[in-house]
A and B are shown apart, each in its own frame.
Chain A
Amino acid sequence: MAGSGRAAPGAAGTWTAEHTSHADNTASPDNTARASWTVWELEASVTVTDPELLAAAEEAVRGVVAAIDLACSRFREDSELMMVQSRMSQGVGVSPLFRLLLERALHAARLTGGDVDPTLGAELAALGHGPEWQRPGLTSIPVPLQPAPPRRPSVPRAPGWTRLNLDASTLTLPAGLRLDLGATAKAVAADLAAAAVHQALGCGVLISLGGDLASAGAGPRADSGPGQWQVMVQDLPADPCQQVSLAPGFALATSSTQKRRWKHQGTEVHHILDPRFGLPAEPVWRSVTVAAPTCLEANAFSTAAVVRGFAAVDWFRAEGIAGRLVDSRGRVVTTGDWPADNGSPSLAAGGSSHAGGGRRG
C-alpha cells in the first residue's frame, strides 16, 4: 500500500498477540488444520495440509513475523528501522532481512509506477498515523466517507522511492524522507512464512496476515485429486462476499479504504496515501482484491488500484491482473481471470461502466 496502515508491522501492542492463545485450531473434512491468532491488531492464520504439522507451522510463522516486525516496525523504538532512521541521510548499513524488505518495497514501487511508495512515513506521521496514534482508532469500524479530504498541495510531491539508494552495503535516504515499509512488509511476511513452512515441513500451507494470503506447496486434498485453497473475499460484513478457489502457490491481497480510518483536523482520513500528494487517495473503491503469484505483487496491485481510482480497471485489464474491485456503492468489477460473482451485482467482463473514468476519478 502506498502508505501502510496500522495493520502492518509495528502496530502498537503487536506482541500482545504472543500471549494470545489460538482458540480455533480445527481440522476440516479435507484434512487441513488451521490455527489463528492476533498480530498487528489483525487476524493471522496458518492452514496446513497435514494436521500433525500445525503447531510447528504456527511457530514458524510467528517467528517470521516477529523477525520482520523487529526489522521494520515504525511503532517500536528497538526496531532496526527506528534505530537507523536518523542516520539514513549519511548512509547506513542494514541487515539482510531489512535489505530484503527494502528490495521488495522498491519492487512494488516499480511494479506500480510509483503508486506504492515506501517513503511515505513522514506523510503518514503528519496525518497522525504514527507511534503516538491512540488505540481507539485501531479498530476496523466502518465510518462514513468524507467528501472533502485535506487540501492537496498545488505541486505534486517528488517521488521518494526514486531517491532511495540501496547499494551492496549501504542504504541512503535523503533527509526529510521517512520509510514506511508496513504494507509491503506484511505481504513479504506472508510470502516468507508460507515458503518457510513449506520448506521446513514439506506440507501445503496457506498463510493469512490480516487478509493478505500466501500459499506454498500442494493444496488441500479434493475428491478428484489435488485441490485448491478456498478463500472468502469480503471486506466488511455488509460488503458483497465471494468464495473463490486460489491455486496452490498463488497469493491474494485486499486493500481497503474502509478500514484504518481516523480523524485528522476534523476530517476522516484513511491509510492508503496517494504518493503524488502524500494524502489519502480518493476512496473510489471500498476495496480491491488481487490474485497474483506472490502476496507482495497482489498487495502492490491492490494498493495501487486504490491510488489510481477508476483508471485501475483499464490498467488491470491491460495487464491481465486478476482483480475484484468494489466501488463505493458496493458494486463489483472484475478483471483478468477473476471469476464473476453470480451472487453480487458484478459488472465483469468488460461491462463495467466504471472503466472509462480517469485516474482518481
Chain B
Amino acid sequence: MSTRSRGKRLATGITAAVGVGSFAAAGVAASAVYAATPSVIARTTPVTDTSATQSSTPKSDDDNRGTTKNNTSRRSKTYGSSGGTTPVQPGSGSTVHGRSSGS
C-alpha cells in the first residue's frame, strides 16, 4: 500500500467517523487518534518542582510512562541545546513555512 493510500485511509477513517456526528462514532475517531499517540508524543517530566501539589494529584498511567522517544519524529525533552538539537536558530531568510502569533 502506498504511503498516499495509507494517509488517505487514515484521514478518511477519522473524518468519516466524526462526520456521522454521533457520540459513538466520535469514539471510534478518538480511538484512532489516540492509538497513534504514545509513540509519537514525547512524554516529559516536569521542569518545575511541584512536589507539594503533586502529592494530592493522582497521576495517570500515562504520566508514569516517562519519556518515550521516536527517533524520527520527536526528540527527548530538552529546552535548550545542551544534549540535543538547538530548537530554534536565526532564520535563513528563505521561504517561510509557517507563522506563529498569539491566539
Interface residues of A in 98-114 (CB under 8 A from B): 98-100, 103, 106-107, 110-114
| Closest residue of B by beta carbon distance from A96 | B34
| Closest residue of A by beta carbon distance from B71 | A249
**Max chain A Cβ within 10 angstroms of own Cβ: one of B3, B62, B74, B75:** B74
* Bound CA span A322–B84, Å: 13
**Max chain A Cβ within 10 angstroms of own Cβ: one of B30, B61, B79, B88:** B88
Q: How many residues of B contact A (CB 8 A)?
A: 76
Q: Return the contact of A200 from the options B6, B19, B60, B100 (Cβ within 8 A).
A: B6
Q: Return the contact of B91 from the options A67, A140, A243, A254 (Cβ within 8 A).
A: A243
Chain A neighbourhood of B58, CB < 8 A:
165-167
Describe A's contact surface by its main secondary structure.
mixed
Interface contact B30-A97, CB-CB below 8 Å: yes
Chain A neighbourhood of B80, CB < 8 A:
320-322, 336-337
B82-95 CB contact bits vs A (8 Å, 1 = yes)?
10011111111111
Interface contact B40-A199, CB-CB below 8 Å: yes
Interface contact B50-A96, CB-CB below 8 Å: no
| Closest residue of A by beta carbon distance from B40 | A195
Closest Cβ of chain A: how far from B50's Cβ, in Å?
5
Interface contact A56-B4, CB-CB below 8 Å: yes
Chain B neighbourhood of A230, CB < 8 A:
91-92, 94-98
**Max chain B Cβ within 10 angstroms of own Cβ: one of A188, A210, A245, A336:** A245
Given contacts A217-B72, A243-B93, contact A59 B99 (CB under 8 A): no
Q: Return the contact of A78 from the options B4, B23, B27 (Cβ within 8 A).
A: B23
Range, interface on chain A: 35 or more
Verify if A311 is at the interface (C-beta below 8 Å from B): no
* Bound CA span A107–B37, Å: 15
Q: Return the contact of A70 from the options B26, B60, B85 (Cβ within 8 A).
A: B26
Interface contact A234-B101, CB-CB below 8 Å: yes
Interface contact B103-A7, CB-CB below 8 Å: yes
Interface contact A56-B8, CB-CB below 8 Å: yes
Chain B neighbourhood of A236, CB < 8 A:
101
Interface contact A292-B97, CB-CB below 8 Å: no
Chain A neighbourhood of B41, CB < 8 A:
188, 191-192, 195, 294, 296
Verify if A42 is at the interface (C-beta below 8 Å from B): yes
* Bound CA span A212–B101, Å: 8
Q: Return the contact of B97 from the options A57, A220, A321, A339 (Cβ within 8 A).
A: A220
Closest Cβ of chain A: how far from B45's Cβ, in Å?
9
Interface contact B14-A289, CB-CB below 8 Å: no
Interface residues of B in 3-25 (CB under 8 A from A): 3-4, 6-15, 17-19, 21, 23
* Bound CA span A318–B96, Å: 31
* Bound CA span A216–B91, Å: 19
Chain B neighbourhood of A234, CB < 8 A:
99-101
Interface contact B79-A294, CB-CB below 8 Å: no
Chain A neighbourhood of B46, CB < 8 A:
107, 110-111
**Max chain A Cβ within 10 angstroms of own Cβ: one of B72, B98, B100:** B100
Chain A neighbourhood of B14, CB < 8 A:
60, 63-64, 66-67
Closest Cβ of chain A: how far from B68's Cβ, in Å?
12
* Bound CA span A97–B49, Å: 28
Partner-binding segment picked from A24-32, A124-132, A143-151, A352-360:
A24-32
* Bound CA span A336–B64, Å: 28
Interface contact B87-A322, CB-CB below 8 Å: yes
| Closest residue of B by beta carbon distance from A98 | B30
Chain B neighbourhood of A255, CB < 8 A:
102-103
Extra inter-chain contacts (9) besides given A97-B27, A112-B48, CB under 8 Å: A59-B7, A99-B60, A107-B46, A107-B63, A195-B41, A201-B7, A232-B91, A247-B87, A322-B87
Chain B residues close to A by CB (< 8 Å): 3-4, 6-15, 17-19, 21, 23, 26-27, 29-37, 40-42, 44, 46-50, 53-54, 56-58, 60-63, 72-82, 85-103
Q: Jot down 16 A-B pairs with beta carbons below 8 A, ordered by A.
A: A30-B95, A59-B11, A62-B11, A63-B18, A66-B15, A83-B23, A110-B50, A200-B11, A213-B100, A230-B91, A231-B91, A232-B98, A234-B100, A250-B87, A250-B88, A291-B87
Chain A to chain B: the 6 pairs with minimum beta-carbon distance, closest first: A256-B102, A63-B14, A243-B91, A97-B30, A320-B80, A195-B40
